[in-house]
Amino acid sequence: MGLVAATAEEKSTVWSAIRRAPRRAPVSFRHPQLNLRDHSGNPAGMNPVASAEGPAARPAGPEAPPQIALLQLITAGFAAQAAHVAARLGLADRIAAGVRDTSALAKALGADPATFRRFLATLASLGVLRQSGEDHWELTAMGECLRGDAPGSWRDFARWFGCDAHYAAFGALEDSIRTGRSGFAKIFGESSWSYMARDRETGLCFDRAMSSVAASAHPLILCQYDFAGIETLVDIGGGQGELLSAVLARYPAMRGIVFDLPHVVEAARTRIAAHGLAGRLEAVGGDFFAAVPPADAYIMTNVLHDWNDADSIAILRNCRAAMRPGGRVLISDFVLRPVNEPDIGRLFDLEMLVLTDGGKERSEAEFAAILAASDLRLTRVVPLGGVCLIEARPA
């Protein structure tokens, strides 16, 4: 039965079934934060998503009928944009600060109260908020993750995914699929990197999103990988230096270099000083296609998926060339699961298609191939509950 051709009676059956049907919760995807207890063995308290009231408590349940599941998929963008707007407004931070009434929230956030109530009710239906009295709202465990100060906060990530440039670029997905070229470049006439270097509001939005990912990923990396014996670790494309700050805090004898584009490391320098690591942690601006600083280990998180194989090999070869004897490379990225398996990495593969010029997520075999072409051999794959840490040593 098609929705368009359905009779009124059939439609009412469909809509009531939709209301009853469980939303396909994101917990069905493999993600570093959504399956912490299942995959990492780390304490659930590290991230509120893993707590009893999070998505884990809203299981997908029995599969919804296909027509309903498809409708939920088709409208998933509405929900994503609602989460984005909530993040952009800082709604969760306001509620956490004690502003709970519709009118007070609307006033604080500059919204029309009646319209805002509809918005809040939608967020409640999505499990982000809970109505706790007439016009009184609370955060659910999922909503807590939209607070800027929550451990493992997704607020800045949600702001990035819904920001104008990102949203517009995804509008060119069809063109990307037809041509294999970046939707971002199609819409804006330049790469996302040069756009963000120029438009610093968008660039900072992206940098903050990456920092929040790093902040939630680094406890997993530290928990699952032993960095002992590394004297100098370079974080290639290290953004604002969160990961190295965490690693150096755990390993007091280690020195670190955050290596990133010059305009990005400017912000890193301020953060490094704030962490009190200025003596051991250096921020170096440069181009990883030209050269990278000498060290005995290199780590790159969420970097290689931005680049096609030839570019990735160029980055890896520069690490190999600068590497001291006995060195290693550590790569944290999604490792794609076999086709047909639920895998949020596949959605990020589309993200790479749209946003970058040739970037992609890779399977373990594909990582092994680009490493081999860089005179490196894949020695270990450490699962981090979604993304993996790949270790490679000289071939």
By three-state DSSP, how is residue 206 classified?
helix
Q: Kindly provide the residue ranges of all beta strands, DSSP E only, lying in the chain, ordered along the sequence.
A: 129-133, 136-139, 232-236, 255-260, 281-285, 295-301, 323-334, 376-383, 387-394
- Please select the residue that binds ligand SAM; options are 127, 162, 238, 256, rule is CB under 6 A: 238
Rounded Cα–Cα distance for residues 67 and 111 (Å): 35
Stretch that binds ligand SAM, among 6-14, 57-65, 146-154, 236-244 (CB under 6 A): 236-244
List binders of ligand SAM among 160-199 (CB under 6 A). 193
Residue 298 makes CB contacts below 8 A (sequence gap 6+) with 233, 234, 235, 236, 292, 319, 323, 327, 328, 329, 330
Work out which of 55, 237, 345, 386 binds ligand SAM, going by CB under 6 A.
237
Residue number with CB closer to ligand SAM (46 or 105): 46
Q: Which of 36, 64, 139, 210 binds ligand SAM (CB under 6 A)?
A: 210
Residue number of the CB closest to ligand SAM reads 237
Minimum CB–partner distance for residue 302 and ligand SAM (Å) = 4
Q: Residues 191, 194, 197, 198: is their CA dihedral positive or negative?
A: negative
Cβ distance to ligand SAM smaller for residue 287 or 341: 287
Question: Under the criterion CB under 6 A, does residue 78 sit at the interface with ligand SAM?
Answer: no
Quick one: which segment of 23-31, 115-123, 235-243, 381-389 binds ligand SAM (CB under 6 A)? 235-243
Q: Which of 221, 215, 218, 212 is nearest to 389 (CA)?
A: 221
β partners of residue 295 = 323
Query: How many residues of this chain bind ligand SAM (CB under 6 A)?
Result: 17
Say if residues 359 and 352 touch (Cβ distance below 8 Å): yes
Q: Which residues contact 289 (CB under 8 A, 6 or more apart)?
A: 311, 314, 315, 318
- The set of catalytic residues is 305
CB-nearer residue toward ligand SAM: 82 or 304: 304
DSSP-derived secondary structure letter, 189: S
Positions in 281-340 near ligand SAM (CB under 6 A):
287-289, 301-303, 306
How far apart are CB 211 and ligand SAM at their closest, in Å? 6
To ligand SAM, the closest distance from the beta carbon of 67 in angstroms equals: 37
Q: Which residues bind ligand SAM (CB under 6 A)?
A: 193, 210, 213-214, 237-239, 260-261, 264, 287-289, 301-303, 306
